[in-house]
A and B are shown apart, each in its own frame.
Chain A
Amino acid sequence: MQEEKFEEKEKIEIVQRFPSWKEILKPSTEMKKGFYSYAATLRDQEYLNLPFPREWSPLDEDWKLPENWKEILINKIDELRKKYRSFQVFMDICVRCGACADKCHYYIGTGDPKNMPVIRGELLRTIYRRYFTKTGKLFGEWAGARELTEDVIKEWYLYFYQCSECRRCSVFCPYGIDTAEITMLARELLNAIGISQRFSLISAAACVRTGNHLGLSPGGVVNSIRYAVDDIKEITGIDVEVPVNKKGAEILFVTPSGDYFAQPHWFTFIGYIMVFHELGLDYTFSTYAAEGGNFGFFHSFEVAKKINQKIYKEAKRLGVKWILGGECGHMWRVKHQYMATYADETYEDALKVLEEPVNPITGTVFENASSTKMVHILEFLADVLKHKKLKIDKSRNDHLVVTHHDSCNIARGMGLYEEPRFVIKSVCNHYYDMPDHAIREKSYCCGSGAGLLADELMELRMRGGMPRAMAVKYVHEKYGVNHLTAACAIDRAAFPTLLKFWRLPVQMGGITELVANAMIMKGEKERDTDLRGNPLGEYLEVEI
C-alpha cells in the first residue's frame, strides 16, 4: 500500500505538549518525516568550499563530524559573540517571560515546545551558559546549562532548520530578541563543522555559478523573457522589446529568479515587463545579476556575500544610474538591511556610476534609498500611480476580491506596509485586510521561508502555514476574498500548495500582476480576460 502523502491528508491533529524544564534540556533528535531537511550534497559543499565536505544523512547514527568538532564549535561561538553584539546580548538577557512563546507559526501548527522561539533560543543558550558563564559552569543543569554532545548538534540541525527567520517573535519581545538572528548564527555554527541543508545550498550554489537560484543559463533567462514577450503579444497584441545586459541603460532591474518561469510568479513577471514598456522606462535585465534573492543568507555570512556582490558589480559594468528590485521577501531583507554593508570595494566602485535614484517618469527622488541606490518596485509603482502616469481601468480587476499578505521580510525587515496597499487599492475596487493579528508587523509567515520551501518539509510547512491560512479563510468567508497577493517569490511558490491543503478556494499572485491587469496600454487590443486567461467581469470562482 502506498503511503498517504501529507498534502492529501483530510485531518491533522495539533498536540500541545508541556514537558518539564528538565525534559526540555534533553536533546530531541528524532528525525521525523516532514520535519527534517535533507543534508547538503557533496557537490554543492565542494563547489562552495565549505568546511569538511562529505556525504552524510540526518538519518545516519554517525554524522561523520570532524574529530575536533567540539573544539571548533566552542571556538566559533567565542568568535561569533565578539563579532555580533546581537548574539552576545541575546544570549545574556532573555528572561523567559514567554511573550514570544505562541508567536511562532511553527509552534502554533505543531505544538512542539521546542518550536517556541524562547526554547529555540535556549537550544543554543544552554550551551553558551555551560561553556561561557560562571553560573553555568558551576551549577550545570540547575543553571540551565548542558553539555555539548552530538545529540545537541542533531537537535540544532532539526530545530534551527524549523525556523523561517520571519522575526515575528522579535516584534513581541520586550528586549527585541530576534530568533531569526539566533537561527542565522546557529546555522553559521553548524556550517563550521560541515553541516548544511540541501535545499538552500542547491539554490545558493546555482546562484554563485549561474547568477540565479534556479540555475538557468543566460540563454535560459533570455528564453524566459522571450516567452514573456510572446505572452504579452498574445494578450495585448503589442510588440514589447526587453533589453538584456544593455550597457548604458538608466536602471538595472533585478528580480527573484522564481519569476522567470514558476507559477504564479509568471504573471508578475510579465506584469513588470508590461509596465516598464508602457512607461517607456530605460532599463535592462542582466544575466549575470539575474537573481535578487540570496539563499546564502540562510546559510552563512560568506555564501551570502558571494552572492550579494554581483549586483553592484553588474551595475558598475553596465553603467546604470540606479537599481530597481522586483517583488521578493528575503531579497529585500538583504537589499535593505545588508546589501551595502556586505559590499566592500564593489560598493565604492559602483558608486562611480550610481546616482541617487530618481524616478525618470515622475521626477521623484527616492531619498530613502540615497545610499544603497536600490528602490523597491512597489515604492516605484506607488509613485507612478500617485502621479497618474498609467492609464488604469480598475474594473478589470472586478472579478477579484483581494487581500494582502505582508511577507515577513519586507514587513519586519523593511517596513513596507502602505506601498502595497496603496498600489492594490489604486488598481482594484475590492480590497479587504485580514484580521489585525495577521497583518503588518504581526503578519504570519507562509511557513516556507529561509530555506524551508523544501519538499521534504511538507508537513512542517502546511502546519506552519495554518495561522495564515486561517486568516485567509476568515476574509474568504466574510468578504468572498478569492485572490491573495504577496510581494514575495517564496510566498508565490508556497501559497498555492498551502491554500490547497487548507481547502481554500483562493488564488494567489504578485501585486504587479494586478497593476498590469488593470493597465490600459497604448494600442492594445480588446481584452476580455486577465493575464491568467480568467474572464473579466464576473466573480471568479477559484477551484480548490
Chain B
Amino acid sequence: MSVLGTIVGVVIPYIAGFIFVVGVIYRIFFWSRSVVPFKIPTTCGQQKSLPWLRRTWMDRFDSPYTNWETAVRMLMEVFLFRSLWKNVRYELPAQTAVSTKWLWLFALTFHWSLLIVLIRHFRFFLEPVPDFVNIIQNLDGFLEVHIGWLWFQLHVVHIMITGLTLLVALLYLLYRRLFMPRERSLSLPSDYVALILLLCVVITGLLMRYVISVDVAQVKELAQGLLSFHPPASPDLHWLFMLHLLFVSVLLAYFPFSKLMHSAGIFFSPTRNMPNNNRAVRHINPWNYPVKGVDWDEFYEEFKEDMEELEQMGYVVKPEEEV
C-alpha cells in the first residue's frame, strides 16, 4: 500500500495541483493578452439618458453607466446568476413563452453548495480552524441534531445540508442532459465528463461522511503536509479517501483544459464587464487602422451635376410653386 499511497496521496495531487495552478494562470494570461477592441455591453435595462426618465435600480445594474454599477452587475451575475434568472421557455404549439427558473435554481444550488463545501474543507488544511469555517460548518449542520436525535438516539448523524444539495443539484444537471431532448442534442461528451467527475468526488465524500468512517486526524495530517510541502513519506489511508483524493486530482488537472474555466472566464466577458456609457466615454481600439473610403472631393467629382444644381438651389429644398 505504501508505494501506491505515495503515488495517489502525494505525487498525483502535486502534479494535479501544478497543472491546475499553471494552467489556470496561463489561460487567464492568454485571455488578458487578447485585446478588447469595442465596448459591447448587452444592455438589459434602460440606459442613462435624460435625468427624469424612469430608470429603476435594476435598470442601473442591467445597463450600468458607471464602474460601480458595472461591478454590481458582475457580482449579481457571479453570485446570483442574474441572467439565468431571466430564463423563459418558448412553448409550442401555444406560441408563447413562460418563465422557468429550474435551471437557475439547480445551477445556483450547485454552485453555492460547492462553495460552502469547499470552505468547510478548510478545516482539513488549517490549524487552528478559522472562526468563519466553524460558523459555516455549524450553520450548515443546523439540522443535524434534530434529525440525528429523531432518527437514532445513540448515533448522532451529522447532516450537512450542502453536501446533499450538491448531490441533488448535480443529479438534476445530469438528468437534464440525459433526458431533455434539446439539452441532450447540445451536450458533448465533455459535458458529461465534468458532471461525472464531480459526482464521483461528491459521492465518495458523502460515503465517507455517512457510511464508511475515515480517520479524520490522518486525513488532516496528509492535507496539512501537502499544503506545507512536507508530505508524509508514505501515507497509508483508507481506500475510500484515496479514491476521493484521486477524483479531486483528476478534476483539478482537467480543469484548465475544460469548460470549467468559465468560472474565471465570466470576469472577462465584454458583454457583462463593461459599462454602457459608450457615447459619453470613448473606447479606444488598440489595433485600429485607417481604411480608405470615398471622401468628399471624390464624391463631389462623381456627382458634380447634382451638386451644382443643389448649389443653385441655395442648399434649400422648397415645395414646388403652384401653377
Name the contact of A344 in the complex, choosing from B63, B183, B288 (C-beta under 8 A): B288
Q: Are B299 and A305 in contact (CB under 8 A)?
A: no
Q: Given A93-B261, A96-B259, A442-B86 in contact, is the A368-B280 Cβ separation under 8 Å?
A: yes
Q: Are B306 and A217 in contact (CB under 8 A)?
A: yes
Rounded to whole Å, the gap between the CB of A210 and the closest CB of chain B is 8
A515 contacts the other chain (CB 8 A): no
Size of A's binding interface in residues, CB under 8 A: 128
Q: How far is the CA of A18 from the CA of B181 in the complex (A)?
A: 6
Q: Is the interface of B mostly helix, strand, loop or mixed?
A: loop
User: Which of the listed residues A24, A142, A341 has the most CB atoms from chain B within 10 Å of its own CB?
Assistant: A341
Q: Are A142 and B47 in contact (CB under 8 A)?
A: no
CB-defined contacts of A239 to chain B, threshold 8 Å: 318-319
Q: Given A89-B269, A101-B182, A178-B40 in contact, is the A144-B189 Cβ separation under 8 Å?
A: yes
CB-defined contacts of B229 to chain A, threshold 8 Å: none
Q: Are B42 and A92 in contact (CB under 8 A)?
A: no
B238 contacts the other chain (CB 8 A): no
B187 contacts the other chain (CB 8 A): yes
CB-defined contacts of A94 to chain B, threshold 8 Å: 259, 262
Rounded to whole Å, the gap between the CB of B117 and the closest CB of chain A is 20
Scan residues 256-295 of chain B and give those whose CB is less than 8 A from a CB of chain A.
Answer: 257-259, 261-262, 265-266, 268-272, 276-285, 287-295
Stretch of A58-66, A413-421, A536-544 that contacts chain B? A413-421
Contact with B along A312-343 (1 / 0, CB 8 A): 01100100000000000000000111101110
Q: Are A244 and B186 in contact (CB under 8 A)?
A: no
Rounded to whole Å, the gap between the CB of B209 and the closest CB of chain A is 28
Q: Are A372 and B319 in contact (CB under 8 A)?
A: no
B33 contacts the other chain (CB 8 A): yes
B228 contacts the other chain (CB 8 A): no
Rounded to whole Å, the gap between the CB of A421 and the closest CB of chain B is 9
Q: Are B45 and A441 in contact (CB under 8 A)?
A: yes
Q: How far is the CA of A460 from the CA of B310 in the complex (A)?
A: 43
B138 contacts the other chain (CB 8 A): no
Stretch of A68-76, A153-161, A167-175 that contacts chain B? A167-175
B43 contacts the other chain (CB 8 A): yes
Q: Given A18-B185, A116-B182, A341-B282 in contact, is the A99-B103 Cβ separation under 8 Å?
A: yes
Rounded to whole Å, the gap between the CB of A130 and the closest CB of chain B is 13
CB-defined contacts of B319 to chain A, threshold 8 Å: 226, 229-230, 232-233, 239-240
Q: Are A344 and B290 in contact (CB under 8 A)?
A: yes
Rounded to whole Å, the gap between the CB of A246 and the closest CB of chain B is 5
CB-defined contacts of B182 to chain A, threshold 8 Å: 18, 98, 101-102, 113, 116
A83 contacts the other chain (CB 8 A): yes
Size of B's binding interface in residues, CB under 8 A: 105
Q: Are A437 and B296 in contact (CB under 8 A)?
A: no
CB-defined contacts of A233 to chain B, threshold 8 Å: 319
Q: Given A241-B316, A412-B43 in contact, is the A175-B50 Cβ separation under 8 Å?
A: no
A34 contacts the other chain (CB 8 A): no
Q: Given A244-B310, A288-B299, A416-B47 in contact, is the A174-B189 Cβ separation under 8 Å?
A: no
Scan residues 16-44 of chain A and give those whose CB is less than 8 A from a CB of chain B.
Answer: 16, 18-21, 24
Q: Are A96 and B186 in contact (CB under 8 A)?
A: yes
A-B residue pairs in contact (CB < 8 Å), sample of 19: A18-B181, A83-B37, A97-B103, A118-B186, A143-B188, A143-B189, A174-B107, A176-B266, A176-B270, A177-B269, A210-B303, A218-B307, A305-B291, A309-B291, A341-B38, A368-B65, A415-B43, A415-B46, A418-B54
B: which residues have CB within 8 A of A? 27, 30-31, 33-40, 42-50, 52-55, 59, 62-63, 65, 77, 81, 83-84, 86-90, 92, 95-99, 103, 107, 176, 180-191, 257-259, 261-262, 265-266, 268-272, 276-285, 287-296, 299, 302-303, 305-307, 309-310, 313, 315-320
* Known contacts A94-B259, A175-B272; 13 further A-B pairs (Cβ under 8 A): A89-B31, A89-B265, A96-B259, A98-B186, A113-B182, A176-B269, A176-B272, A242-B318, A306-B291, A306-B293, A368-B49, A372-B280, A415-B45
